């Protein structure tokens, strides 16, 4: 994408220089009319070939043509040049050559400036995205470690028959584990184990000592920080 932006930038700079040098004035080959904007430029894929063998979709300027107008003949004439939406075709019909060239020059300078800023921005943006993703992974890993540690501590209290504290710790472990539960099967499995053991302890608390003969809690894999 960055390479395409650079190529488009070069094209627009060429067009601006071409315009400033009077390239869209009268041609000795067609002295009866001004040169057509973009269509009579060296940047046009069909330059100098009236049979127009190349589809306009091959032209980079199509990026500026409204999507719904891209199937029109000479779509580059429909590029909005002004904030009012005045196009090249509009100036052909209702304006003069000077107005058209002034609008075109302003549009080219604006696009050149914006693309230059975009070309400079991507490394910073990508770096920011990578940093953000890295921080997300770190945060998720921290939540996973916390869930595992709380779960292990809850199991210890459960083994000591300290069921109220175990139930509370299972709840905290479950809340932490659910923050990373969307990552994969391992995390979902952990959350299910925590939920199952919390429910078992809740049953003990409701049923009293008779329910204390339930199966021991599952072992949890150690989660390294």
What 3-state DSSP class applies to 80?
A: strand
Q: Which of 36, 68, 39, 81 is nearest to 56 (CA)?
A: 39
**What pLDDT, in 10s, does the model give residues 173-188?**
888 777 664 555 667 7
Distance from C-alpha of 56 to C-alpha of 36, rounded to nearest angstrom: 15
Task: Average the pLDDT over 13-30 and give the result.
Answer: 77
Please give the pLDDT value at position 80.
95
Task: Average the pLDDT over 33-51 and give the result.
Answer: 82
Reported as a pLDDT band with limits 50, 70 and 90, residue 128 is: very low
Please give the pLDDT value at position 131.
40
**What pLDDT, in 10s, does the model give residues 50-103?**
888 888 888 889 999 999 999 998 999 999 999 999 999 999 999 988 999 999
**Higher-confidence position of 94 and 224:** 94
Q: How far apart are the first and last CA of the chain?
A: 38
| HSE value, Cβ hemisphere, 13 Å, CA-based, for 142 | 6
Please give the pLDDT value at position 216.
54
Please give the pLDDT value at position 7.
78
| Whether the Cβ atoms of residue 153 and residue 215 lie closer than 8 Å to each other | no
Please give the pLDDT value at position 198.
92
Name the average pLDDT for the chain.
78
Distance from C-alpha of 4 to C-alpha of 1, rounded to nearest angstrom: 5
Which residues is 80 bridged to in the sheet? Answer: 87
Reported as a pLDDT band with limits 50, 70 and 90, residue 127 is: very low
Please give the pLDDT value at position 113.
94
Please give the pLDDT value at position 29.
52
Task: Average the pLDDT over 145-151 and give the result.
Answer: 77
Q: Report the phi/psi class of residue 35: left, alpha or beta, with left for phi > 0 and alpha for psi in -120 to 50.
A: beta
């Amino acid at each position: 994408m960055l390479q395409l932006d650079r190529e488009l930038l070069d094209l627009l700079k060429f067009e601006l220089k071409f315009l400033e040098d009077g390239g869209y004035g009268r041609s000795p080959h067609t002295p009866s009319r001004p040169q057509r904007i973009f269509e009579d430029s060296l940047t046009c894929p069909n330059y100098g070939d009236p049979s127009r063998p190349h589809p306009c979709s091959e032209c980079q300027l199509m990026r500026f043509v409204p999507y719904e107008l891209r199937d029109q003949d000479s779509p580059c004439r429909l590029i909005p040049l002004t904030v009012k939406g005045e196009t090249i075709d509009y100036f052909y019909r209702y304006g003069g050559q000077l107005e058209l060239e002034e609008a075109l020059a302003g549009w080219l300078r604006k696009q050149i400036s914006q693309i230059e800023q975009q070309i400079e921005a991507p490394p910073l943006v990508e770096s920011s995205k990578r940093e953000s993703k890295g921080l997300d992974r770190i945060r998720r890993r921290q939540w996973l470690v916390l869930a595992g540690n709380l779960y292990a501590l809850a199991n210890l209290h459960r083994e000591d028959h300290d069921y109220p504290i175990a139930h509370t710790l299972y709840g905290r472990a479950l809340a932490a584990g659910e923050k990373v539960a969307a990552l994969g099967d391992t995390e979902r499995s952990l959350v299910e184990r925590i939920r199952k053991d919390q429910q078992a302890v809740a049953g003990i608390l409701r049923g009293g000592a008779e329910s204390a003969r339930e199966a021991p809690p599952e072992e949890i894999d150690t989660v390294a920080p």
